[in-house]
Structure 1
Amino acid sequence: MKILILEDEIPAYKKLTSYLDDFFMGDSYDHDWSRSINDGKEFLMNNGYDFILSDIQLLDGISFDLFDEIPTNCPIIFCSAHDNYLLKAFDTNGIAYILKPYTKSDFTKAIEKYQSLFNKGTYHKINKKTIHNLKSALQSENISFKKRFVIKKTNGIQLLNVSDISLIEASGDFCIATENSGKRHTISMNLGTIFKQLNPNKFFKINRSEIISIDAIENIESHFKNRLLITFSGGKDKVMTSSSTTSDFRKWLEQ
């Protein structure tokens, strides 16, 4: 049994190999691991695999582009954090996926199901038409997320790119957004409205009044009552998860 793992996040890769070890229960299997399309291309060109476990977003692009360039006949199980247009496209095209954050049970069921379908010859092999549909769904999903906010200043209007935001804090009926540089801006929306417009892969609501960007996290420390202290870029003070969000926050970090 030979497996290719396409996963750019190291914690997620370790989670997959741990589940594979448990799934095969001592039976021998071999695997290759790539964090990028470029390395994945080399593996696919020079090896054959029984199945592939693939994230969608890799270090240098999306895995759909890799499968578009190098066709494969083996089952592909996508490990995805997307839960809107893209999962509907997976269902429509009969492509396997595991929704992050997934459990060992989710993982086992997915592999058993698609091994069975493939052995029976009823697995839907991924082809260029399917890849085109998946890319279109991914593009539609990405478009739905907020890209920038319009900030009203005394001297005019300023655009604040979402990618520059490290933290958003509730402040009455408004919110304060902190940039990675430390600059602070007032956004004329409440926290709940803002959160619904942000990419859930990038932003997490760590408590009732604060949203943090994963790209801004610099350090995480354990704190009392199952809470975590977070140091983030641009912030003078640390922020803290609530006891009720800590578990989901840990899972979110491993996506």
Structure 2
Amino acid sequence: MRILILEDEIPAYEKLVANLETYFEESFLHDWARSNEKAREFLSQHTYDFILSDIQLLDGISFDIFNSVQIDCPIIFCSAHDEYLFEAFRTNGIAYILKPYTKEDITQALNKFQSFFKTESFQPIHNDTIDLLKSALKQEEIHYKKRFVIKKSKGIQLLNVSDISLIEASGDFCMAIDHLGKKYPISHNLGTIHEMLNPLKFFRINRSQIAHIEYIENIESHFKNRLLLQLTGLKEKVMTSSSTTSGFRKWLE
């Protein structure tokens, strides 16, 4: 058995592999891609029994892959997107794991693969279905996160997303820093938060930080194809990774 995993989050990838190893008694091979470009490379070289795919990859949405490459195996999508997109998946009978998922969620999706996808009734996903999912994703854009509820010892506080300058990973949680420099703990991992935010406003500049375009005050070139960003409310500059710099430049335009 050979499996393709499309996931830009390293912890999420490791979690999927661990659950696959627990689920399947026999050994299996797998390839891992964090971008559309790498996924297309793998798909041109190998055939797969099934694909586990996040929706948002480093260089765009995975739907673009399935629009341009003929896929003859089942796809199990893994994403934090909900509402319109979830309904579109459910209506089309596509296996879908909603982040943050549990071991039981993954097992249920794999059971579906074993019982349904491996029968003669399986039909490859078609472009019209992908187009429908893209449309649902666009419909969901108006429902991006507007505010976070911050729990404090004396009660709760509302943090408007429009006030956030930077979000960075902090252990199992994240820390949001607003344009005044105040910090707020958020009880989600960075990948989940990234999918909650409007991609026209927020960009994941490296593995552990997400920047808000409206609070970028200055950009400087740095070594190894990286950029230094000065954000409102932050004393220290933050840096793009060499793998995200190209996408970041395009995003700015």
TM bin, normalised by shorter chain, reads: 0.5 to 0.7
**Does residue 1:217 correspond to 2:216, yes or no?**
no
TM-score by length of 1: 0.66
Q: Is the 8 A contact 1:54 1:63 kept in 2?
A: yes
Query: Which runs of structure 2 are paired with 1:170-249 in the superposition (5 Å)?
Result: 199-200=144-145, 204-207=148-151, 208-211=156-159, 216-218=166-168, 220=170, 230=175, 232=177, 234-240=179-185, 246=187, 249=188
Query: What's the CA shift for 1:114?
Result: 2.1
Matches of 1:229 and 1:18 in 2, distance apart? 24
- Give aligned pairs, total: 188
Q: Is the 8 A contact 2:166 2:178 kept in 1?
A: yes
Residue 93 of structure 1: aligned partner = 92
- CA-based RMSD of the aligned residues comes to 2.7
Residue 38 of structure 2: aligned partner = 39
Query: What's the CA shift for 1:215?
Result: 7.7
Query: Which runs of structure 2 are paired with 1:142-161 in the superposition (5 Å)?
Result: 142=141, 144-145=142-143
Q: Which amino acid aligns with 2:17?
A: T
Matches of 2:7 and 2:165 in 1, distance apart? 18
Residue 122 of structure 2: aligned partner = 123
Partner of 1:209, secondary structure, is strand
Matches of 2:111 and 2:174 in 1, distance apart? 39
When residues 234 and 38 of structure 1 are mapped into structure 2, their CA distance, relative to the original with a 3 A threshold, is same
Residue 4 of structure 1: aligned partner = 4
Matches of 1:60 and 1:30 in 2, distance apart? 25
When residues 86 and 253 of structure 1 are mapped into structure 2, their CA distance, relative to the original with a 3 A threshold, is closer
Q: For structure 1, list consecutive stretches of 5 or more residues without a partner in the other structure.
A: 146-198, 223-227
Query: What's the CA shift for 1:203?
Result: 5.9
Identity level (%): 49
Residue 181 of structure 1: aligned partner = none
Matches of 1:39 and 1:87 in 2, distance apart? 26
Partner of 2:3, secondary structure, is strand
Q: Which amino acid aligns with 1:105?
A: E
When residues 122 and 254 of structure 1 are mapped into structure 2, their CA distance, relative to the original with a 3 A threshold, is farther
Query: What's the CA shift for 1:210?
Result: 3.3
Partner of 1:131, secondary structure, is helix
Matches of 1:42 and 1:79 in 2, distance apart? 21
Q: Which amino acid aligns with 2:128?
A: K
When residues 20 and 212 of structure 1 are mapped into structure 2, their CA distance, relative to the original with a 3 A threshold, is farther
Query: What's the CA shift for 1:99?
Result: 0.9
Partner of 1:19, secondary structure, is helix
Q: Which has the larger radius of gyration?
A: 1
Q: Which amino acid aligns with 2:46?
A: N
Q: Which amino acid aligns with 1:120?
A: T
Query: Which runs of structure 2 are paired with 1:109-120 in the superposition (5 Å)?
Result: 109-120=108-119
Matches of 1:215 and 1:94 in 2, distance apart? 39
Q: Is the 8 A contact 2:67 2:127 kept in 1?
A: yes
Q: Which amino acid aligns with 1:217?
A: I
Residue 138 of structure 2: aligned partner = 139
Query: What's the CA shift for 1:106?
Result: 0.7
Query: What's the CA shift for 1:233?
Result: 6.1
Q: For structure 2, list consecutive stretches of 5 or more residues without a partner in the other structure.
A: 196-253
Q: Is the 8 A contact 1:9 1:254 kept in 2?
A: no
Residue 166 of structure 1: aligned partner = none
Matches of 1:121 and 1:203 in 2, distance apart? 46
TM-score by length of 2: 0.66
Matches of 2:114 and 2:148 in 1, distance apart? 35
Matches of 2:72 and 2:138 in 1, distance apart? 25
Query: What's the CA shift for 1:11?
Result: 1.5
Query: What's the CA shift for 1:204?
Result: 3.8
Query: Which runs of structure 2 are paired with 1:63-74 in the superposition (5 Å)?
Result: 63-74=62-73
Query: What's the CA shift for 1:122?
Result: 2.2
